[in-house]
A and B are shown apart, each in its own frame.
Chain A
Amino acid sequence: MKQLQIGNAAVARGLYEAGVGVVSSYPGTPSTEITESAAKYDEIYCEWAPNEKVAMEVAFGASLRGVRSACCMKHVGLNVAADPLFTMSYTGVNAGLVICVADDPGMFSSQNEQDSRHYAVAAKVPMLEPSDSDECLRFAREAFTLSETFDTPVLFRVCMRTAHSQSIVDTGDRTTDAAKSYEKNGAKYIMMPGNAKKRHPVVEERTARLTEYAENCPFNRVEMGGTKLGIITAGTSYQYVKEVFGDTVSVLKLGLVNPLPVDLIRDFAAKVDRVVVIEELDGVIENHCNAIGVKVEGKSLFSPIGEYTQETVRRAFGIPEAPSVAADTPIPVRPPVMCAGCPHRGLYYVLAKNKVTVLGDIGCYTLGAQPPLSAVDSVLCMGASVSGIHGFNKAGGAETEGKTVAVIGDSTFMHSGITGLVNIAYNGSNSTVIILDNSITGMTGHQQNPTTGYNIKGDPAGKIDLETLCHAVGINRVRVVDPYDLDACDKALKEELAADEPSVIISRRPCMLLKYVKPKSPVHVNADKCRGCKSCMRIGCPAISMKKGKAVIDHTQCVGCDVCRQLCKFDAMESEVR
């Protein structure tokens, strides 16, 4: 049946059709919808794991038992899961195992722009890369045969544009005979040195066979269109090449991006006068061409930075862009902001007011770094706030301990904040960690996590109690505040910073976008009382603006959180009577 699907949903359909039985993932844009879509198929057991390493090991266990499995993550998640990946390359699989990794060229929702293809090269496993939803479905389905034929985990790379673009797919039926039996095989699955030494040659031999396979595999194809110009490309870049050149140039389109073919590239290059490699991010294909002695142009024409478009291709070949008209008036930028009523806002206001140093983390609350709150000092990676504050305070001593906090969301804390907190308790820094518990994984679009009490399907599940957990790892001072109550937040912050031992403040209030959170009546400004002092503007609420010297609240955005009312010295903020 023909359907319009985003790449990620098409990948999930491919997993379904391949007979996958287990999917374990951690959410991360632009990968999240693969697992969310897979969870809609009753035949697939799906879960949100606490982090990508756990997810990949769950998938390993399922494969070992004989069930086709997958795990999905964003590019930086693969860093977290790199440990099992590199050794799974040695063990290989029982039932097929596919690791979906979503790269984010252009960094639409990411902290770096790393190219996951390097992992395929380094871990010596095959990697597929689709260029539209149709390929997402077909490649994902075929990836399991590849995995089982070559006894290897398969990396499946989608870039943001493919992951989040809808195009037409043709769906098929689910394979029902994918299950394998489990037999104990220590030489293959127990990776201690004696066994691993015997597996490494197997990996090298496998790469040689895969390279041979790449010469003729169905994932790579040549589309001849004259002999003047030949373009070697992969992923979304293929679409831009076709958009610009149609059938007027020859294209070698690579779907298997590791290992890369040798003869196929040499033969293609021999047929054309000039070869250009067009690949987003790093020059992986280009370097391979250089290594096998094929003369190509690549990064001399194209940047390793950012997302490509058809315009990128046109520019590289000196093709003029279409004429266009723009406004002369400068257009103010519109950066993302914390939503009106976001529970993080009140807490951040208190942090900014107390001028504390804030080691931040990954989530919606990273937005507290933006003006006017500007309350964050560093953001590195998942969990780095909790580990980082310990180092900051060990380096700074008493001078920093009393005026530094770490902030981390509930899901991020579960992901990789716990071990940092163990370190604080064990190695004794007088650090204050604030867990911003909005009872959901927010930034990626509301996924459940171990603290919410629900699983991926929304059914009741085990619930980790944050207070008990913090106590259990050795933190005596654990307290909960409501971030809508500015005085309570201020008091908690001052007391915990002054305390002579490590402490955790749990700032708890559910994300106001959650369906069960009912907005209160909007706040409305009494213009007679408003003196235009702009105190309420200091919290950076998108619902509040100044019009003709008075504060105005947009009733379509305001959810009545009342944080602004606590800042007004003139009682101008009133509840709107409905």
Chain B
Amino acid sequence: MSVTSLMIVGVGGQGSLLASKLLGRLLLNEGYDVKVSEVHGMSQRGGSVETYVRFGDKVFSPIIVKGEADFIVSFEKLEAARYASCLKAGGTIVVNTQQIDPMPVITGAAAYPEDILDELTAKGIKVDAINALALAEKAGSSKAVNIVLMGRLSRCFDIPTEKWLAAIEQSVAPKFVEMNKKAFLLGYNS
């Protein structure tokens, strides 16, 4: 009855839906029972967004709560910290080092905690930080941050890279396949 729980968190508009689509495709191909839960609508407009991916022999709840996530993939630093409490003891956060100021920081009502990842590490959390934006731009589009992070995440799984690349082919429009594969491999090899 072992179930693996993975959260994708970030800022609305960063492409978490494609990342979860890719994971769903991959895990279905691998023969797992899979549930993916996403939030559409208002929260997408630049707000904090969270997507849950759970897979195993049999998955019931589509939700991940405090202390349950094996992995968190965060598209942004602050969001990694916001959801860190969802992580299981011994879990890993794969995080893009990009900083996107939320509105209270923009208006001066709050400060952005610049050293937040160091604080998480000091708390004993495994933090795997990469500059996914730079790699995405290298692959050809700043929008590919999501797939770069999937590439980095794939190192934590026992699923061969070819399977991930095949799932990319099944998940994105044909004209973006090559760019996304490149982004994936840049993340994987980073």
Q: CA of A338 to CA of B106 in the docked complex: distance in angstroms? A: 13
Whether, in the assembled complex, B112 has its beta carbon less than 8 Å from a beta carbon of chain A, the answer is: yes
Q: Select B43's contact among A327, A336, A542, beta carbons within 8 Å.
A: A336
Determine, out of A64-72, A366-374, A386-394, the stretch whose residues face the partner at the interface. Answer: A366-374
The secondary-structure label for the interface of chain A is loop
Nearest Cβ on chain A to B50's Cβ, whole angstroms = 11
Q: 8 Å CB contacts to A: which residues of B30-51?
A: 33-48
Whether, in the assembled complex, A303 has its beta carbon less than 8 Å from a beta carbon of chain B, the answer is: no
Nearest Cβ on chain B to A13's Cβ, whole angstroms = 16
Nearest Cβ on chain B to A525's Cβ, whole angstroms = 14
Beta-carbon contact of A29 and B42 below 8 Å:
yes
Interface size on A, residues (CB 8 A): 63
Beyond A327-B116, A329-B113, A329-B116, is A309–B106 a contact (Cβ under 8 Å)?
Answer: no
Whether, in the assembled complex, B73 has its beta carbon less than 8 Å from a beta carbon of chain A, the answer is: no
Top 7 A-B pairs ranked by shortest CB distance?
A322-B67, A109-B41, A29-B41, A336-B47, A332-B110, A334-B102, A324-B67
Beta-carbon contact of A4 and B24 below 8 Å:
yes
With a cutoff of 8 Å between Cβ atoms, the chain B residues found around residue A309 in the complex are 61, 63, 65
Nearest Cβ on chain A to B87's Cβ, whole angstroms = 7
Beta-carbon contact of A328 and B34 below 8 Å:
no
Measuring CB to CB, which residues of chain A are less than 8 angstroms from any residue of chain B?
Answer: 2-4, 6, 29-30, 32-33, 108-109, 132, 160-161, 164-168, 236, 239-240, 242-243, 246, 309-311, 321-339, 364, 367, 370-372, 443-445, 537, 540-542, 544-546, 554, 556
With a cutoff of 8 Å between Cβ atoms, the chain B residues found around residue A108 in the complex are 39, 41-43
Beta-carbon contact of B125 and A544 below 8 Å:
no
Given contact pairs A167-B59, A334-B11, enumerate 19 new A-B contacts (beta carbons under 8 Å): A33-B40, A132-B62, A165-B38, A166-B35, A236-B62, A246-B1, A309-B61, A327-B119, A331-B82, A334-B46, A335-B47, A335-B104, A336-B42, A336-B45, A336-B46, A367-B45, A371-B107, A540-B103, A554-B100
- Residue of A whose beta carbon sits closest to that of B119: A327
Q: CA of A333 to CA of B25 in the docked complex: distance in angstroms? A: 32
A-B contact pairs, 6 of them (CB 8 A): A33-B40, A167-B35, A322-B88, A331-B82, A337-B47, A544-B106
Beta-carbon contact of B35 and A542 below 8 Å:
no
Whether, in the assembled complex, B172 has its beta carbon less than 8 Å from a beta carbon of chain A, the answer is: no
Beta-carbon contact of A542 and B103 below 8 Å:
yes
Nearest Cβ on chain A to B172's Cβ, whole angstroms = 16
Whether, in the assembled complex, B57 has its beta carbon less than 8 Å from a beta carbon of chain A, the answer is: no
Whether, in the assembled complex, B84 has its beta carbon less than 8 Å from a beta carbon of chain A, the answer is: yes
Q: Select A331's contact among B1, B38, B44, B78, beta carbons within 8 Å.
A: B78
With a cutoff of 8 Å between Cβ atoms, the chain A residues found around residue B61 in the complex are 239-240, 242-243, 309-310
Whether, in the assembled complex, B111 has its beta carbon less than 8 Å from a beta carbon of chain A, the answer is: yes
Q: CA of A243 to CA of B133 in the docked complex: distance in angstroms? A: 37
Q: Select B105's contact among A242, A326, A332, beta carbons within 8 Å.
A: A332
Beyond A322-B68, A328-B119, is A545–B106 a contact (Cβ under 8 Å)?
Answer: yes
- Residue of A whose beta carbon sits closest to that of B10: A334
| B42, B68, B108 pick with most chain A CB within 10 angstroms | B42
With a cutoff of 8 Å between Cβ atoms, the chain A residues found around residue B125 in the complex are 325
Q: CA of A243 to CA of B37 in the docked complex: distance in angstroms? A: 15
Beyond A364-B45, A371-B109, is A324–B63 a contact (Cβ under 8 Å)?
Answer: no
Nearest Cβ on chain A to B29's Cβ, whole angstroms = 10
Nearest Cβ on chain B to A568's Cβ, whole angstroms = 16
Beyond A168-B33, A371-B107, is A334–B124 a contact (Cβ under 8 Å)?
Answer: no
Beta-carbon contact of A327 and B37 below 8 Å:
no
Q: Select B34's contact among A166, A311, A444, beta carbons within 8 Å.
A: A166
- Residue of A whose beta carbon sits closest to that of B31: A2
Q: CA of A542 to CA of B38 in the docked complex: distance in angstroms? A: 23
Whether, in the assembled complex, B175 has its beta carbon less than 8 Å from a beta carbon of chain A, the answer is: no
Q: CA of A22 to CA of B105 in the docked complex: distance in angstroms? A: 48
Nearest Cβ on chain B to A246's Cβ, whole angstroms = 7
Beta-carbon contact of A540 and B107 below 8 Å:
yes
- Residue of B whose beta carbon sits closest to that of A332: B110
Beta-carbon contact of A335 and B103 below 8 Å:
yes
Q: CA of A568 to CA of B15 in the docked complex: distance in angstroms? A: 32
With a cutoff of 8 Å between Cβ atoms, the chain B residues found around residue A336 in the complex are 12, 42-47
Write out, one digit per residue, whether chain B residues 62-87 have a CB within 8 A of any chain A CB (1) or not (0): 11011110000000001101101111
Q: CA of A236 to CA of B37 in the docked complex: distance in angstroms? A: 12
With a cutoff of 8 Å between Cβ atoms, the chain A residues found around residue B102 in the complex are 332-335
Beta-carbon contact of B103 and A370 below 8 Å:
yes
Q: 8 Å CB contacts to A: which residues of B10-27?
A: 11-13, 20, 24-25
Beta-carbon contact of A332 and B112 below 8 Å:
yes
Nearest Cβ on chain A to B129's Cβ, whole angstroms = 15
Whether, in the assembled complex, B89 has its beta carbon less than 8 Å from a beta carbon of chain A, the answer is: yes
Beta-carbon contact of A4 and B85 below 8 Å:
no
Q: CA of A243 to CA of B41 in the docked complex: distance in angstroms? A: 27
Q: Select B13's contact among A166, A339, A372, beta carbons within 8 Å.
A: A339
| B20, B39, B104, B116 pick with most chain A CB within 10 angstroms | B39
Nearest Cβ on chain B to A458's Cβ, whole angstroms = 16
With a cutoff of 8 Å between Cβ atoms, the chain B residues found around residue A334 in the complex are 11, 46-48, 78-79, 82, 102-103
With a cutoff of 8 Å between Cβ atoms, the chain A residues found around residue B36 in the complex are 4, 165-167
